[in-house]
Amino acid sequence: MKRTIKYILAACLAVSSLNVFAQGLRSAYFLDGFVYRHEMNPAFMGERNYVAIPIFGQINIGAQSNVGLSNFIFKYNNPPYSATTFMHPSVDSKQFLGSLHKQNTINMNLSMPIISFGFHKWGGFNTFGLNLRVNENNNLPYDLFAFLKNGQTASEVTEYHLKDMTVRANAYVEMALGHSREIDDKLTVGGKLKFLFGGANANVYLSKADITLSDKEWMIQMEGEGDLSLKGATLGTKATDVNGETRHKIDDFDVNGPGLGGFGMAVDLGATYKMDDFVEGLTLSAAVLDLGFISWNHTVGGINDGKVPFKFEGFNNIQVKDDGIDDGSKSLDDQLDDLSDDLEKMVQFYDKGTYKRTTALNATLNIGGEYILPYYKNLSFGFLSSTHFNKPFTWTEGRFYANVAPIKWFDASVNYGISTYGSSFGWVLNFHPKGFNFFIGSDHMIFKVNPQFIPINNLNANVSLGFNVTFGNGPKCCAKK
């Protein structure tokens, strides 16, 4: 718990390195030579057979958030040190809090192919993938940062009311079998069947936490629950009297013999349709991804019904260090340790036993349209609408494309997206001569970074690259032109 809280704080301060995020490189959605198009729509057929170089077939690095470095790091006029964190007393509280949202989200995900290949056979295009999938979502309310920054502001009583604070993480391996085929010269359909092997799943949700600060004591009355699905997970508890009832307060966590924690299944479904009878050169496509679930065999959890408040002692020894000045203050890492220790004390759960549970995957809906210019068929324009369902972290995006394929073995795209997390510029270069496929691109190009290459504004950044071996030729049906 402490380590998780510390990582969340580090992400909020944007001083940790970026994690990985992507459900495929969306910038390459309309490129025929991109071997992983089938991950965004299982109806897309490959130009050639391919085999991925393990791990390096497709690497996506990035993050997604509605906050960034500029929300937590501020200019500080104390040469030669020019920046400090939001906790420093020189940072105006109204300036800091005015830059935040009611709910501040940070999403970090990983999708990495361990084994991936595709081939033309049995009247269509077939794919196999063994992929590692990890995702983490954090929803941090405004009042949490107001509490951290301001603490007790009145001589008598100060109150904070936190709502809908969520920390969610999921890790599993998927084995995906895909097939796509032409129904006629206009309609192509495809699907994937996925077998899911669960590693771990965690969900902590605080529906509310009312914090009352006075000169005498600090009290917290919280309501929420947490679930951890992980083989071998055990909780340490301490018997506590709560209004005459003996309850077991969670105060420790351990793992004995981790392994396969759950099993599940999912499907991807997709289709494309050429609209030449109505508008020559227009192709529509649609897909729904990750419709499925994982059943977890072993889950431990805690709950707090919010009926009994508890005393909180924390945030008394957190000092901010002007970098490079030895004045007895604490380093940033020590500050994060102190913050995580105290935030851990804020969350008090009582053991609710061991049980089984089932969780749904986070589905994605892609709807696209591409128009090939009749007088220059190597140039096309497109639009892709993507919606990722993951309440309260659901996001939508609309992306406009210009795609070009000047020669047979090279194509490229530039695109502009508008989403829940702001606007972004994307691009991709895709080389696909006979024998190999190499691509590099980004859905969220970074224009302003600090010396550590962390985005200054919203923490939306992504770069994707990969190398794959290709061979053979697909049927003429798979060519767009």
CATH assignment of the domain containing 359: 2.40.160
Give the helix/strand (H/E) hosting 3: helix 2-13
Q: Which of 332, 320, 442 is nearest to 26 (CA)?
A: 442
Identify the pLDDT of residue 111.
79
332 three-state secondary structure: helix
Q: What is the pLDDT of residue 108?
A: 80
Q: Is the dihedral of CA 148, 150, 151, 157 positive or negative?
A: negative
pLDDT (0 to 100) of residue 454: 56
Cα–Cα dist 350/423, whole Å: 43
At 254 the pLDDT is 86
- Return the pLDDT at 153: 80
End-to-end CA distance of the chain: 54
Q: Rounded distance, CA 474 to CA 119, Å?
A: 8
Cβ atoms < 10 Å from Cβ of 411: 24
Distance CA 342, CA 329 (A): 18
d(CA 130, CA 345): 40
- Which amino acid, one-letter code, is at 239? A
Phi-psi region of 14 (alpha: psi -120 to 50; beta: other; left: phi over 0): left
pLDDT recorded at residue 345: 65
Collapsing DSSP to helix, strand or coil, 386 comes out as strand
Q: What residues make up the domain containing 138? A: 2-478
**Residue with the two structure tokens 């196999």:** 128
In the chain, the number of structural domains is 1
Output the pLDDT for position 76: 67
pLDDT mean values, one per 10 residues, the chain (481 residues): 44 38 79 95 96 88 74 69 71 86 85 92 96 89 88 81 92 97 97 97 92 86 93 88 80 84 97 96 98 96 87 58 44 56 74 94 97 95 96 92 96 96 92 96 75 58 89 65 48
Rounded CA gap, 458 and 65, in Å?
A: 6
What pLDDT, on a 0 to 100 scale, did the predictor assign at position 432? 96
Output the pLDDT for position 205.
93
